[in-house]
Amino acid sequence: MRNVVVTNPPRADLAAVDKLAEFGVATVHEAMGRTGYLGPGLRPTHLGSRIGGTAVTAVCWPGDNLMIHAAVEQCRPGDVLVVTTTSPGTDGAFGELLATSLRARGVRGLVTSGGVRDVAELHEMGFPVWSAAVSAQGTVKATAGAVNVPVTVGGQLIRPGDAVLADDDGVVVVPRQDVDSALAGSQARLDKEAAARDAFRKGELGLDRYGLRAKLAELGVEYVTWQEYSG
């Protein structure tokens, strides 16, 4: 990792990202062929938010939030700040003051593989946060890192300017160049799901709707009565 602050990365089209965010994390993840999910380790501090935006990334040393301060300056309206550390750590590198600064710049939320604090205050001010930990432990501002370089969080590569979507199911990244195809795929999936939902409400089974009875037979799954099984 070079110790750089990269300025003005190209960003995904914000209007398109906004539309994408409405579909929700799970739908978009599916629409992209089940890719881009940042894993179950990132959770919202409070349930009930759904956001989307363009990524500004920051890489910090564990226990150090210097590069978050450098990242704030690179943020624009519509961005989501994505913070990671060079090795695992849970310290509360982000809190209400930084959120105030981000909000003043039009940033929509924070996603971090580390920790956050002031979560009551963040909730009160309506600034949504997804993190791996809540921790009051403070950090220093002593070590170099990077801003707007590609980062990996939860096994996913996030480039600055990529679309980042988050809700109660977690966080998904959509590469900048894939936003349009994700939009199309998500809409198609939504339509398909709406039809399935109606069918399921009326009692149709997934076994029939998805043709799974043949699959079960092909895999050798047998139907037996309880008496046969237990006897």
| Interface pick for its own copies out of 12, 58, 83, 133 (rule CB under 8 A) | 133
In this structure, which amino acid lies at residue 31?
A: A
Identify which range of 13-21, 27-35, 178-186 contacts its own copies by CB under 8 A: 27-35
In this structure, which amino acid lies at residue 100?
A: T
Should residue 97 be labelled a site residue for its own copies when binding is judged by CB under 8 A?
Answer: yes
Should residue 111 be labelled a site residue for its own copies when binding is judged by CB under 8 A?
Answer: no
Instruction: Considering only residues 187 through 226, tell me which ones interact with its own copies, judged by CB under 8 A.
Output: 193, 196-197, 200-203, 205-207, 210, 212, 215-216, 219-226
Should residue 39 be labelled a site residue for its own copies when binding is judged by CB under 8 A?
Answer: yes
Should residue 156 be labelled a site residue for its own copies when binding is judged by CB under 8 A?
Answer: yes
- Which residues make beta-bridge pairs with 58? 83, 147
Should residue 231 be labelled a site residue for its own copies when binding is judged by CB under 8 A?
Answer: no
Q: Could you give the angle at which helices 66-74 and 96-104 cross, rounded to 10 degrees? A: 20
Should residue 120 be labelled a site residue for its own copies when binding is judged by CB under 8 A?
Answer: yes
Is the Cβ of residue 3 or residue 177 nearer to its own copies in the bound state? 3
Cα(82)–Cα(52) distance, rounded to whole angstroms? 12
Instruction: Considering only residues 54 through 73, tell me which ones interact with its own copies, judged by CB under 8 A.
Output: 61-64, 66, 69-70, 72-73
Cα(88)–Cα(143) distance, rounded to whole angstroms? 16
Are 114 and 93 in contact by the 8 Å Cβ rule? The answer is yes
The residue written with tokens 């629409």 in the block is 31
Should residue 83 be labelled a site residue for its own copies when binding is judged by CB under 8 A?
Answer: no
Is the Cβ of residue 18 or residue 63 nearer to its own copies in the bound state? 63
Tokens of 145: 């890192």
CA distances from 112 to 24, 38, 90, 91, 207 (A): 19, 10, 10, 11, 39
Is the Cβ of residue 15 or residue 224 nearer to its own copies in the bound state? 224
Is the Cβ of residue 15 or residue 229 nearer to its own copies in the bound state? 229
Is the Cβ of residue 1 or residue 184 nearer to its own copies in the bound state? 1
The residue written with tokens 């003005």 in the block is 8
CB of 58 to its own copies, least distance (A): 12
Cα(50)–Cα(43) distance, rounded to whole angstroms? 12
